[in-house]
């Protein structure tokens, strides 16, 4: 008869290791972080914060270099004077119209170009590279180029239209208020359009292809796919485009100044041109600083409006 061996040895007690203590993050780490970032913060404060603060301080003064004896603190007098200043109100009206036209053309043309460049075709890489060229051109050079194109005596556009028989004589396009306004808007769009295309093209590249396949299975047309799939994914890139392009349009100066100088009349006399003329020509630094802060506040309010409308559609990934 077989016997069964019984193991009478006691089981070993399981060794209990003490829990690891989390790394100590005391006040020394915080102080070290502030100490390491202090040089950069000082440089930023000197180069950015101080000029901004000083410009606001100047906007609260009656300060004209031609009349230094009349300098005085007027609180918000410069801002209140803008409400009844017909030149400022006209400039504000022109600026708002300029921003609306530039922003509308930029978004529509930028979206169309991004959709085209997102497709696969021969020469797509070359075309993507060529789209960046206008963005690399400085605003002054951009203004000189467009002024040469529309020159009333030697402009290539006049020569082309005359050779084709569309006009009987050379036309002075920039002497017409409507023509000058539209030409400056087109020049601004041409210079800033590549940035919009890049942002929207990056947004299009993140859209999963399965969504388009599912839409095609459901027999969705081109416009339905754009409205149901593409547009929701482009809301956040469009938010970035709207904010930055609005700021660029409100601050547009170099292209307009070189192209038309703010004329003819007040047709292209945007706030930025009026601001520079007030400071450099009339040497009124107090009123000029108030103009700058008005531009800043207007763009800030518009940016908050963009965010409040589009941010609710989803989270913004940075």
Domain segments of the chain: what residues? 76-313
- Tell me, what's the pLDDT at 315? 43
Phi-psi group of 240: left, alpha or beta (phi > 0 → left; psi -120 to 50 → alpha; rest → beta): alpha
Tokens of 212: 């388009």
Burial bucket for residue 197 (CB in 10 Å: 0-12, 13-18, 19+): buried
Quote the CA–CA distance of 41 and 59 in Å, as a whole number: 26
The class of domain 76-313 in CATH terms is mainly alpha
Per the prediction, the chain carries an average pLDDT of 84
- Tell me, what's the pLDDT at 316? 39
- Tell me, what's the pLDDT at 181? 94
> Residues 51-98: pLDDT tens digits?
888 889 999 989 888 887 788 888 898 999 888 889 999 999 999 999
Q: What is the pTM of this model?
A: 0.81
């Amino acid at each position: 008869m077989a016997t069964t061996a019984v193991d009478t040895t006691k089981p070993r007690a399981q060794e209990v290791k003490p829990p690891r203590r989390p790394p100590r993050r005391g006040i020394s780490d915080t102080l070290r972080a502030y100490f390491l970032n202090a040089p950069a913060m000082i440089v930023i404060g000197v180069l950015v914060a101080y000029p901004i603060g000083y410009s606001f301080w100047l906007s609260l003064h009656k300060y004209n270099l031609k009349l230094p004896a009349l300098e005085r603190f007027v609180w918000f007098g410069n801002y209140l004077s803008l409400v009844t200043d017909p030149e400022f109100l006209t400039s504000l009206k022109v600026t708002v119209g300029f921003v609306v036209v530039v922003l509308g053309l930029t978004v529509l043309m930028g979206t169309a170009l991004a959709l085209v460049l997102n497709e696969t075709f021969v020469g797509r890489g070359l075309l993507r590279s060529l789209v960046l060229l206008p963005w690399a051109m400085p605003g002054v050079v951009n203004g000189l180029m467009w002024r040469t194109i529309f020159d009333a005596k030697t402009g290539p556009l006049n020569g082309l239209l005359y050779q084709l028989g569309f006009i009987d004589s050379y036309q002075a396009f920039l002497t017409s208020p409507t023509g000058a306004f539209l030409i400056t808007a087109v020049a601004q769009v041409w210079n800033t359009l590549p940035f919009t295309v890049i942002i929207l093209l990056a947004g299009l590249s993140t859209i999963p292809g399965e969504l388009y396949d599912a839409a095609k299975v459901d027999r969705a047309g081109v416009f339905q796919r754009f409205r149901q799939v593409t547009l929701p994914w482009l809301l956040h890139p469009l938010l970035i485009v709207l904010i930055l392009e609005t700021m660029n349009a409100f601050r547009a100066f170099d292209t307009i100044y070189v192209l038309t100088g703010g004329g003819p009349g007040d047709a292209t006399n945007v706030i930025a041109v009026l601001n520079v003329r007030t400071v450099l020509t009339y040497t009124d630094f107090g009123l000029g600083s108030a103009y700058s802060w008005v531009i800043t506040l207007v763009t800030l309010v518009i940016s908050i409006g963009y965010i409040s409308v589009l941010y609710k559609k989803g989270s913004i990934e940075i």
